[in-house]
């Protein structure tokens, strides 16, 4: 059944967050006929998503052939008036196009030196600076976990927690797309690495002037041995695909993200990592468009992983998983601190129709690469948790050559370390673990 959505959710959460354009989802196998009928009825000029075209102009319909989605500068009412017959033209859903933001936790403290850390230091950092929930009194197992990751001399606490340092796999031969603010292509830690890049932001090169994307790429695929400081990259031999879908200011439209996804699928990336999104409200459903795109990506052998969002302020305020991570076919990632507690900002699986948390990963005080001359920085957020999962997924893809799409999803979740003291609504299957 076709759905027309005029707002996509309560106005209080969408005011100022849409572009005025609409996403149109076509049935599989009917996309060509559907876009032809749509452009004929509305008078919009059909434009194919290409290297040179990343968003539609007025009176244009930008068509993503691989995804079966169009972006048009017209609304459902105008479509009806133009005589568009959705059922006959294979249209499944029409939704407003949203603006998405990079996810970084408020109150993040940056540029903390990478040194060996005491339990007391980490405890004080969490409580005094990030105001995170302290470990439960007498919880010896969790305290033991904290002790195990206190020393970052050789590797970050995140890599220790996901057991990347124990893995015999490197991600070699696996293509991972990080869709974010781009990458510092001049960073010395990436010298000699083959980086395939593409910008979907008009007027902006892939070169990262924000830092968010470079940090995520470092966590997912940074060096095995950093020149200074600890190892910070999970899948250090994976092939880097850096897609700039967020501007240097940290925002981007749904169509720019869809462009990045289509690019990743065409390039046969096994994993797509997206540390971005838009806030949702209790009771709000997921995007039919992004859900279909994610399912079609899995069918093509590409697993999409996305940040659950940083809108919560636990324990007083807990917010549902953000768009597009709230889609059932997109792996939603929550953030943990170094005592394996849920980060105060991490969103929760609240909405009954989709919107669950699928997996958790380190997302507090994460050390990784940052554009020069800063070079390294510590950031917090579900954004920092997501590339840990993407890196582990790359290791699992290397270890299991036949596992792609839904099969790779199953490997990621079934291998997770169960966190018995935490709710699955907060951490899903548990802490992601490397093979």
Domain harbouring 199, CATH code: 3.40.50.200
The percentage of residues in the chain with a pLDDT greater than 70, rounded to a whole number, is 83
The kind and range of the H/E element at 265 are helix 254-266
Cis peptide before 204 (omega within 30 of 0): no
Does residue 140 belong to any structural domain of this protein? yes
Cis peptide before 324 (omega within 30 of 0): yes
- Closest among 182, 211, 217 to 197, alpha carbons compared: 182
Does residue 59 belong to any structural domain of this protein? yes
Model pTM score:
0.88
What is the pLDDT confidence band of residue 11, given thresholds at 50, 70 and 90? very low
- Top-confidence residue, 4 or 409: 409
Residue of 73, 167, 180, 251 marked catalytic: 180
For residues 276-286, average pLDDT:
92
Return the pLDDT at 75.
67
Domain boundary residue, one of 65, 98, 131 = 98
Distance CA 73, CA 58 (A): 6
> Which residue(s) pair with 276 in the sheet?
102
Residues 162 and 288 in one domain: yes
Domain harbouring 62, CATH code: 3.30.70.80
Q: Which two tokens stand for residue 339?
A: 């005592």
Residues 86 and 143 in one domain: no
Residue of 170, 189, 199, 212 marked catalytic: 212
Does residue 103 belong to any structural domain of this protein? no
Does residue 106 belong to any structural domain of this protein? no
Return the pLDDT at 15.
38
Q: Which two tokens stand for residue 1?
A: 């059944």
Residues 248 and 125 in one domain: yes
- What is the tally of structural domains in the chain? 2
Residue of 73, 383, 388, 426 marked catalytic: 383
Distance CA 101, CA 115 (A): 31
Residues 81 and 219 in one domain: no
Residues 342 and 415 in one domain: yes
- pLDDT of 113 above 60: no
Residues 270 and 372 in one domain: yes
pLDDT digits (tens, 9 = 90+) for 284-335: 999 999 999 999 999 999 999 999 999 999 999 999 999 999 999 999 999 9
Residues 20 and 160 in one domain: no
pLDDT digits (tens, 9 = 90+) for 215-272: 999 999 999 998 889 999 999 999 999 999 999 999 999 999 999 999 999 999 999 9
Angle, nearest 10°, between helix axes 382-399 and 212-221? 30
What is the Cα Rg of the chain in Å?
A: 21
Domain boundary residue, one of 51, 68, 98 = 98
Q: What angle do CA 302, 305, 311 make, to 5 degrees?
A: 160
The kind and range of the H/E element at 369 are strand 366-369
Residues 307 and 353 in one domain: yes
Classify residue 401 as left (phi > 0), alpha (psi -120 to 50) or beta. alpha
Q: How many CA atoms lie within 13 A of 30 on its CB side?
A: 14
DSSP of 215-252 = HHHHHHH--SS-SSS-B--SSTTSEEEEEE-S-TTSEE
The kind and range of the H/E element at 273 are strand 271-274
What mean pLDDT is reported for the chain? 85
Residues 136 and 201 in one domain: yes
Tokens 């370390």 correspond to 417
Distance CA 177, CA 173 (A): 13
- pLDDT of 8 above 50: no
The yes-or-no answer on residue 199 being catalytic is no
Residues 397 and 257 in one domain: yes
For residues 37-61, average pLDDT:
83
> Which residue(s) pair with 103 in the sheet?
none
Burial code of 223-238, b = ≥16 C-beta within 10 A, e = fewer? beebeebbbbbbbbbb
Residues 61 and 133 in one domain: no
Residues 83 and 125 in one domain: no
Strands 3-4 and 91-102: parallel
The range of the structural domain enclosing residue 61 comes to 3-98
pLDDT digits (tens, 9 = 90+) for 149-192: 558 999 999 999 999 999 999 999 999 999 999 999 999 999 98
The yes-or-no answer on residue 73 being catalytic is no
Does residue 11 belong to any structural domain of this protein? yes
Does residue 108 belong to any structural domain of this protein? no
The yes-or-no answer on residue 131 being catalytic is no
- pLDDT of 434 above 60: yes
- Closest among 33, 384, 99, 120 to 251, alpha carbons compared: 99
What is the pLDDT confidence band of residue 59, given thresholds at 50, 70 and 90? confident
Q: Which two tokens stand for residue 364?
A: 């507090």
């Amino acid at each position: 059944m076709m759905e027309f959505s005029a707002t996509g959710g309560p106005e209080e959460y969408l005011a100022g967050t849409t572009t005025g354009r609409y996403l149109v989802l076509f049935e599989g196998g009917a996309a060509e006929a559907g876009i032809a009928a749509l452009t004929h009825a509305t008078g919009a000029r059909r434009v194919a998503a290409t290297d040179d075209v990343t968003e539609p102009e007025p009176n244009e319909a930008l068509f993503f052939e691989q995804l079966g989605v169009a972006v048009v500068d017209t609304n459902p009412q105008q479509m009806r008036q133009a005589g568009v017959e959705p059922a006959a033209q294979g249209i499944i859903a029409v939704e407003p196009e949203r603006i998405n933001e990079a996810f970084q936790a408020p109150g993040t403290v940056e540029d903390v030196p990478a040194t060996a850390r005491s339990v007391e230091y980490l405890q004080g950092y969490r409580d005094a600076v990030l105001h995170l929930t302290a470990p439960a009194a007498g919880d010896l197992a969790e305290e033991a976990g904290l002790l195990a990751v206190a020393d970052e001399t050789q590797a970050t606490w995140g890599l220790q927690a996901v057991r990347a340092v124990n893995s015999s796999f490197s991600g070699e031969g696996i293509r991972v797309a990080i869709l974010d603010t781009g990458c510092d292509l001049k960073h010395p830690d990436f010298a000699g690495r083959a980086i395939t890049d593409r910008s979907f932001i008009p007027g902006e090169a892939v070169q990262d002037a924000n830092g968010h994307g470079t940090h995520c790429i470092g966590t997912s695929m940074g060096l095995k041995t950093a020149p200074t400081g600890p190892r910070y990259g999970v899948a250090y031999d994976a092939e880097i695909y850096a897609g700039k879908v967020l501007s240097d200011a940290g925002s981007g439209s749904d169509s720019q993200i869809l462009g990045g996804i289509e690019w990743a699928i065409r390039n046969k990336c096994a994993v797509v990592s997206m540390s971005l999104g838009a806030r949702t409200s209790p009771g709000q459903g997921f995007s039919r468009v992004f859900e279909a795109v994610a399912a079609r990506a899995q069918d093509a052998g590409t697993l999409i992983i996305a940040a659950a969002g940083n809108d919560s302020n636990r324990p007083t305020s807990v917010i549902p998983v953000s768009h597009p991570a709230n889609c059932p076919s997109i792996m939603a990632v929550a953030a943990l601190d170094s005592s394996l507690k849920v980060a105060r900002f991490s969103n929760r699986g609240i909405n009954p129709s989709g919107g669950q948390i699928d997996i958790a990963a380190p997302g507090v005080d994460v050390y990784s690469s940052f554009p020069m001359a800063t070079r390294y920085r510590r950031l917090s957020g579900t954004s920092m948790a997501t590339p840990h999962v993407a890196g582990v997924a790359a290791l699992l893809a290397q270890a299991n050559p036949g596992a792609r799409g839904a099969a790779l999803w199953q490997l990621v979740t079934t291998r997770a370390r169960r966190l018995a003291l935490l709710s699955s609504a907060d951490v899903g299957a548990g802490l992601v673990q490397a093979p």
